[in-house]
Amino acid sequence: MPTNISSFPELLAFLNKHTDYERQQGGRTRDIFDLERMNEVLDRLARPELAYATAHVAGTKGKGSTSRFLASLLQSQGLKVGLFTSPHLERLTQRIEINGQEVSERGMIEAFQVVVNALEREHGGAPDITFFELLTLTAMVAFKQAQVDAAVFEVGLGGRLDSTNVINPLVSVITEIGLDHMKQLGDTIEEIAREKAGIIKPGVPVVCGASDQTAQRVINLTARDTEAPLLMFGKDYSVRWFERQGRGIRFTADVRDVRYEGITLPHPARYMAENAAHALCALEVMAAEPDLLPEGFIDRDRAIDALTRTEQPGRFEIFEGRPLLVIDSAHNELSLKAAMATAKAVANGPLVCVVGIAGDKDIEPCVHRIAEVADGVVFTRYYSPRETDPSVLLSLYEKFGGKGGSTEQHPEAALETALEQAGEAGLVLVTGSTYLAGALRPAAVEYSQP
């Protein structure tokens, strides 16, 4: 009997019957994963991802915000644009956006049903398809149903074997690369970079924001072997000038021979300027595709305005109050180092963190980065089987000389403790996990209400 998905709880129940590597300790590995299932189901669906232009974004740090910037830039040029990101902060529907608006539950159900029908039409379904594969397929169908002109796909994990790596994009973007997901991707920068570089396609231009020389070498060699034109940050495009303005930034970006002057972002982090530059470079590449842009050229004033207005939920997101409250989804050493540096630059008083970290991360370097900067930390849980016991994190924090450390079993209680500890002049930074950021973001919204 065919499966009929008529409600969102039924959709969630169907999803939850399939393996969810995002929440599993350890997660998928290179040894057991391939793209055969994805391509098989896409063939059954008549390849919906070919109905629109695509861009593909991978990286250890910055891929989510770069994807969001690029989607906004494309929309500013008169295109209808889809955006697929992961994981979500608060709701599953946040993973699929069309013109900056998350898909409705009904819209997601309609696309999901098409995928389920395709699974059941031949061979009695695909019982080993994963949670993330199902969501990727749903996004591809939803974008076709909405008749988008272009879609930006953020890689879920790695790149080479990620379920998004079935698209043939106009541009591949690789942001900063560091050590993360080592059980799945490898123990060295070289191995991880090789997995990220797996999104590079023959002849498709590559925008590379990686600063590590080993990562750059791997990407350079992969681009050369696939005859993919390579544009490097700091060489072919760059942030030429940068300054902080209050709790925001202002900068100028040079992209090839084009200068984007006086860009302002409501984020205090320099890395946001760099991610915006990656997106601008990708836009310039995509604009070379005949007939993609309605006007045939980039309206750069509209592009600059779009960057200014792009929201980045959970990415050093500032909520006004005394103390100041920041929700951030940094979850590896590279991103935590940047988040802590930005928080210290913004804070006028004590910096107190609320922290939860997944057990499959390289925990010691992450905690060390926090201990180097924080004036206090409350370690907590965030309702996930992958979370690390707060007492384990506290022990590491104290080992690295961290001060003012404590634990709370419930994230809401941890936030209250941190707000009290920071005092009116301080800053509270929630960080360490996307899931912790999502768990506490509703409280942050309420906190900032007048």
Specify whether 74 is located in the same domain as 188: yes
Specify whether 351 is located in the same domain as 272: no
Q: What would the mean pLDDT of 264-284 be, rounded to a whole number?
A: 95
Q: Which of 35-44, 187-196, 283-292 has the highest mean pLDDT?
A: 283-292
- CATH number of the domain within which 289 lies: 3.40.1190.10
Q: CA–CA separation, 153 vs 225, rounded Å?
A: 24
Specify whether 120 is located in the same domain as 159: yes
Give the residue from 275, 309, 343 where a domain finishes.
Answer: 309
Q: How far is CA 257 from the centre of its chain?
A: 29
Specify whether 224 is located in the same domain as 140: yes
* Residue 286 pLDDT class (50, 70, 90 cuts): very high
Residue 120 one-letter amino acid? E
Model pLDDT, residue 29: 45
Q: CA–CA separation, 216 vs 192, rounded Å?
A: 12
- CATH number of the domain within which 376 lies: 3.90.190.20
What is the residue-wise DSSP string for 142-198? HHHHTT-SEEEEE-SSSSTTSTTTT---SEEEE-B--S-SHHHH-SSHHHHHHHHGG
E strands present in 9-166: 53-58, 81-84, 96-98, 101-102, 150-154
CA nearest neighbour of 24 among 438, 361, 386, 439: 386
**Structural domain harbouring 172:** 8-309
Model pLDDT, residue 26: 45
* Residue 182 pLDDT class (50, 70, 90 cuts): very low
- Tell whether the model's pLDDT for residue 102 goes beyond 80: yes
Whose tokens are 């100028």? That residue is 252
What is the residue-wise DSSP string for 335-396? HHHHHHHHHHHH-SS-EEEEE--BTTS-HHHHHHHHHHH-SEEEE---S-TTBPPHHHHHHH
* Residue 21 pLDDT class (50, 70, 90 cuts): low
Residue 59 φ/ψ region, left for φ over 0, alpha for ψ in the -120 to 50 degree band, beta for the rest: left
pTM: 0.93
**Residue 427 maps to a domain:** yes
Give the residue from 253, 277, 309 where a domain finishes.
Answer: 309
- Tell whether the model's pLDDT for residue 23 goes beyond 90: no
Specify whether 58 is located in the same domain as 152: yes
CA nearest neighbour of 198 among 258, 155, 249: 155
**Residue 410 maps to a domain:** yes
- Tell whether the model's pLDDT for residue 183 goes beyond 70: no
Burial class of 391 by CB neighbour count within 10 A (0 to 12, 13 to 18, 19+): exposed
Q: What is the mean pLDDT of the chain?
A: 91
Length of the chain: 450
CA nearest neighbour of 5 among 94, 104, 108: 108
Specify whether 321 is located in the same domain as 304: no
* Residue 127 pLDDT class (50, 70, 90 cuts): low
Q: What would the mean pLDDT of 268-285 be, rounded to a whole number?
A: 95
Q: What would the mean pLDDT of 129-137 be, rounded to a whole number?
A: 93
Specify whether 121 is located in the same domain as 170: yes
Q: What would the mean pLDDT of 388-400 be, rounded to a whole number?
A: 95
Give the residue from 309, 337, 367 where a domain finishes.
Answer: 309
Q: Listing from the earlier edge strand, what are the strands of the sheet with 258-265?
A: 237-245, 248-255, 258-265
- Alpha-carbon distance values, 84 to 4, 167, 338 (Å): 24, 13, 24
Domain tally, the chain: 2
Specify whether 297 is located in the same domain as 252: yes
**Residue 118 maps to a domain:** yes
pLDDT (tens digit, 9 = 90+) per residue, 301-348? 999 999 999 999 999 999 999 999 999 999 889 899 999 999 999 988
H or E stretch including 37? helix 36-44
**Residue 425 maps to a domain:** yes
Q: CA–CA separation, 431 vs 342, rounded Å?
A: 12
**Residue 2 maps to a domain:** no
State how beta strands 81-84 and 150-154 pair. Answer: parallel
Specify whether 289 is located in the same domain as 372: no
**Residue 1 maps to a domain:** no
Specify whether 290 is located in the same domain as 329: no
Specify whether 353 is located in the same domain as 254: no
**Residue 3 maps to a domain:** no
Specify whether 120 is located in the same domain as 177: yes
Model pLDDT, residue 159: 86
Q: What would the mean pLDDT of 49-62 be, rounded to a whole number?
A: 96
**Residue 63 maps to a domain:** yes
pLDDT (tens digit, 9 = 90+) per residue, 205-261? 999 999 999 999 999 999 999 999 999 999 999 998 899 888 899 999 999 889 999
